[in-house]
Structure 1
Amino acid sequence: MNSAAGIARPEDLIGRRVGVPEYGMTAAVWARGLLKHEYGVGPEDINWVTGGLTGPGRKPLVNLDLPKIRIEHEVERGLNDLLLEGAIDALIAPQVPPALLAGDPRLAYLFADVPAVEREYYKKTRIFPIMHTVVIRRDVYERDPWIAANLFEAFVKAKNLCLADLTIDEPTTVSVPWIQHHVAATKRLFGEDFWPYGVEPNRATIEALCRFLYEQEITQRLVGVDELFAETFQSAPARL
């Protein structure tokens, strides 16, 4: 956020101009869901400005019809510069604005201790916001239904190799001080497998995402979790 905008808590975003790379992007859906359900700030309470972080924004992947939502598209300047100038009051984006990374005093995080807020949100909701999935063309799946389970198995094995790299006693592939302590603290909160794959371990999170998408009128109906995934994949174990 812009440090001079007078924003001290999420409720102060009401009536403000908030930048976002793309209104319908998943990270923004999660952020708006949190703002509404945890702080009572609805999407209609904010004036949204879409655009690129450091340059002109991309064309939206999906054209949304949202008559109740105020959205302005910035075609010339990046959101980082708009935030520095005070042309927008705050920003929701997957990447940290370059000026904030550089320590520019004109920018600051909304929450002083971001990890603490995220930990409390997880403890309260058991939701670990996730964004990405692997999609198979329907004609390919119908021709070779085994492909879903095989792809899933390959990704789970790759993830397990990554987890092993973080937890072995010898030097890890991640050169971060106190990495073993960070991993141990993460496991205490999320469990041994803190990146669970599969439908069932993530059902509550996916249900929340589907609900947020519907509430924000990005989907026209409330989509069920089981509608989204191949039948041969749904019963696959999350860890192999």
Structure 2
Amino acid sequence: MTDTQTNTPLSVVLGNHPHTRPLKDGTVPVDGVDCHYPEFSPLPPAFARMVRELAYDICEMPMATYLQARDAGVPVTLLPVVLVGSTHHRSLTRLPEGEALDPGELAGKRVGVRSYGQTTGLWVRGWLREEYGVESSDVTWVTTEDVHVAQYRNPSYVERSDAARVADLLRAGDVTAAVLGPKAIGGQGAGLVPLVKDAEDAGAEWIERHGTIPANHLLVVRDDVLRTRQDDVRAVYRALQEAITLTAGERDDSPAGRAVTAGWSESLTACLEIAGQYALEQGLIGEPVDVAAIEEKAVFLTR
């Protein structure tokens, strides 16, 4: 395929991670492609703009947002890159002075989460059902934001709050527990404690059981950009792959460090299959995820 817009910069939205910095600062150039890297702080508004407006050419995207966008027919294609990931047994939190509930006792309770479509919430609800028998519909999920995909409508057991932050819901006594993403745990969630005892061990057991590490953020490209600039998209992928290899020493051996990868693998297949099953069970998507079809297109792009 011949690229037709090689003189037009590609807009590439990436979070500020050790493995994306080499692209942004030019340490790892994107061969033959002029890339523009819009900055967002925080990053989630960019995800909504991508799936609602197709505002960028290539964009970091949460797993749950990608699955919902694909289910809704949003014209984006997955590139096989995991930019952020980890286990999430420590993400279900409570006040230190609050009731020391077992996660299995959350049925009938109210739990705060940024949005029902937040990827951390997807993974937390997945292990809640798998390990404790708590269905998504057993809990009232109290949210502070809308989902990124405009076509989606929340289930009846999801409520919207006027609170600014999820931790505020917990501290106000409006919820029993709160789901916090990795950055929020060290920010607004400072001082909160996990409901799961030995959360790190529980996360390690999940990885052992499933043979993968939960991915939070992936990478997508607009379909029209892929059609007209396939070589340029490949160049961005290869540069990111090089940057991930280059910065391997800056990531530790924790799940968060090991989750970052570029290239299709059995682990990525398993991750998408599990996330897809969780999303279907939780009513985030309406149809099963065809992982083989995703893989076929992604592998072709990386050749």
Code of the aligned partner of 1:121: W
Contact 2:143 2:160 in 1 (8 A): yes
What does 1:1-240 align with in structure 2 at a 5 Å threshold?
Answer: 1-3=94-96, 5-51=98-144, 58-62=145-149, 63-67=151-155, 69-94=156-181, 95-96=184-185, 98=187, 100-101=189-190, 103=191, 107-165=192-250, 183=253, 186=254, 195-201=260-266, 202-228=268-294, 231=297, 233-234=299-300, 236=302
Structure 1 spans left out of the alignment, 5+ residues: 52-57, 167-181
Would the aligned equivalents of 2:213 and 2:259 in 1 still touch at CA under 8 Å? no
Identity over aligned pairs, percent? 25
The number of residues matched between the two structures is 206
Q: Tell me which amino acid in the other structure corresponds to 1:160.
A: T
Preserved CA contact (<8 Å) 1:149 1:233: no
Deviations 1:107-147 (A, max 9, x none): 42112432222111111121311021221111111123223
CA contact (8 A) 1:11 1:39 kept: yes
Provide the rounded CA distance (Å) in 2 between the counterparts of 1:208 and 1:46.
21
List gaps (5 residues or longer) in structure 2: 1-93
Kept in 2, the 8 Å contact 1:198–1:236? The answer is yes
Q: Which of these two proteins has the greater Rg computed from alpha carbons?
A: 1
Shift of 1:225: 1.6
More strand by share: 2
- Please state how far the C-alpha of 1:193 moved relative to its aligned partner: 6.4
The alignment partner of 2:208 has SS state of helix
Distance, in Å, in 2 between the alignment partners of 1:99 and 1:218 is 26
RMSD: 2.8
Separation in 1, partners of 2:110, 2:272: 29
